[in-house]
Structure 1
Amino acid sequence: MFDTVGVLKRSFEPVDGGYLFYPTRWSHGYQVTPAEYEALIEDWRRVAGWKGLVKLAGLTVLAFLAGSMLANFVDVSRSTSSVVGYGVTAGVIGYLVWQSTAANRLVKGRKPYAPPRSGKEAEAAMGKTLGRTIAVWMVIVSLSFLAWAVFIAISQPLLGIPLAALIGVVAFLNFRIAVRAFRTKR
């Protein structure tokens, strides 16, 4: 559904002698050599490409199945089983976060190659990087969660109103990102 490798590729701008990478919206641009760029793309393809995601999902399911079977055969309390499940989930998320920050770790400590972008340039780059498909899905998922939070707010106002406000802010920010993606010229 999403081209995760394409999103990473669009995060780099071709320049003389390699590529320009901006770790954040407000940071300077750092030069990355073509060899480093290819290594980053290949590593990310291995992690977040189709085969990588299937492998990661399969390993996660196997870990949960093995944990469930072990909990049934060995007398393990429910809370211990839950802690193991949370640990597996945290491990998978930690692995993905670590892999997704490879480009940032690569340029850490290097001298800047380009000055920070203007706000308008940064917004255009963000819209180009994400793409329209991801932006649309971000809005759909955000609005779905917002509808869920509103239903909770109706039934349990004490919990639901702050939850709806929080999710409403996130939905608004995601909507702004979607607008940037659609305003960006291809």
Structure 2
Amino acid sequence: MFDATAAFSKQFVPHEDGYLFYAGRTAGGKFVSEPEYQELVAQWQSVAGRKGTWKTVAAVFLIIALGMIAKDLFDVGEWTEDVSIWGAVALVVARIMWASFAPRRLVKGRPDVVPPRPLAESKKLARSMLPWRMIISVFIVSTGIFVACLSEMPQTFVNWLWLVGSGAMSAAYGWIAIQKFRDRDQN
């Protein structure tokens, strides 16, 4: 559904004998050599590629299983399951964030080679990283939840949160779809 390696690679723009990486919306492009680029992609694949994903899944299952075993064997209480689940979530987030910010760490302190990209171009690049299947799926699910919440007329705070959240998500992904469709016509 989502090719994480392709999305990661789109952050780099070919330039002379290497690539440009824009560390932020207002930052200029910083030069990344071909070997550095290949190393960054390899690191990303080790986390978000097929093998990296399976390693993460295995680690999550192991952490949660150890928490459940510890709770049952040592009778330490329900909190061990909660701690193991939160530990597994922290592991996944930490692995992805570390790999995601590797390019920023690499170019930190390097001079800008080119000026910052225009905001419209940055937004277009961000939209290009989202595949149509993901946009359509999220739009359909969030719209379905919104309609279901509307049909019951929310009475609790949590129900209102679901209504507002799903409506906002539906509207946001609808707008992204419209903009992405316009981007296709401009090419």
Provide the TM-score with structure 2 as the length reference. 0.84
Partner residue in 1 for 2:153: 154
1:59 aligns to 2:59 (yes or no)? yes
Could you tell me which runs of 5 or more consecutive residues in structure 1 were left unpaired when the two chains were aligned.
Answer: none
TM-score when scaled to structure 1?
0.84
Whichever residue aligns with residue 171 of structure 2, its letter is F
Q: Superposed, which structure 2 residues align to 1:131-150 within 5 Å?
A: 131-147=131-147, 150=149
Q: Which moved more, 1:76-85 or 1:163-172?
A: 163-172
For 1:48, give the aligned amino acid.
A
Change (3 A) 1:87 1:59: closer
Q: Is the 1:29–1:113 Cα contact (8 Å) retained in structure 2?
A: yes
- Residues 99-153 of structure 1 show CA distances to partners (whole Å, capped at 9, x for unaligned) of 11111222222211221222322222222233333333443454355456x2697
| Secondary structure of the structure 2 residue equivalent to 1:184 | helix
- Counterpart in 2 of 1:96? 96
Once the two structures are superposed, the pairs formed by residues 107-126 of structure 1 within 5 Å of their partners are 107-126=107-126
Query: Taking structure 1 as reference, are residues 55 and 31 closer, same or farther at Cα in structure 2, changes over 3 Å only?
Result: same
1:172 aligns with 2:161: no
Structure 2 letter corresponding to 1:29: G
Give RMSD over aligned pairs: 2.5
**C-alpha distance in 2 between matches for 1:73 and 1:169:** 45
Query: Displacement of 1:39 after TM fit?
Result: 0.5
Q: Give the equivalent residue in structure 2 for 1:40.
A: 40
Q: Which range moved further: 138-147 or 54-63? A: 138-147
Q: Distance in 2 between matches of 1:131 and 1:108?
A: 30
Structure 1 stretch displaced more, 106-115 or 155-164: 155-164
In the other structure, the counterpart of 2:84 is: 84
Residues 20 and 30 of structure 2 are in contact (CA less than 8 Å); yes or no, is this contact kept in structure 1?
Answer: yes
- Matching residue's letter, 1:179: I
Secondary structure of the 2:20 match is: strand
Structure 1 residue 31 and structure 2 residue 31: aligned? yes
Are the counterparts in 2 of residues 27 and 116 from structure 1 also a CA contact under 8 Å? Answer: yes
Say whether the 8 Å CA contact 1:30–1:110 is kept in structure 2.
yes
Q: Distance in 1 between matches of 2:96 and 2:121?
A: 28
Cα distance in structure 2, aligned partners of 1:122 and 1:28 = 12
2:154, 2:160 within 8 Å by CA — same for their partners in 1?
no
Higher deviation after alignment, 75-84 or 136-145? 136-145
* Cα separation, partners in 2 of 1:97 and 1:138, compared to 1, 3 Å: farther
**Alignment of 1:130 onto 2:130:** yes
1:132 and 1:182 in contact (8 A); partners too: no
Q: Identity of paired residues, percent?
A: 30
What is the CA-CA distance between 1:176 and the residue it aligns to? 2.9
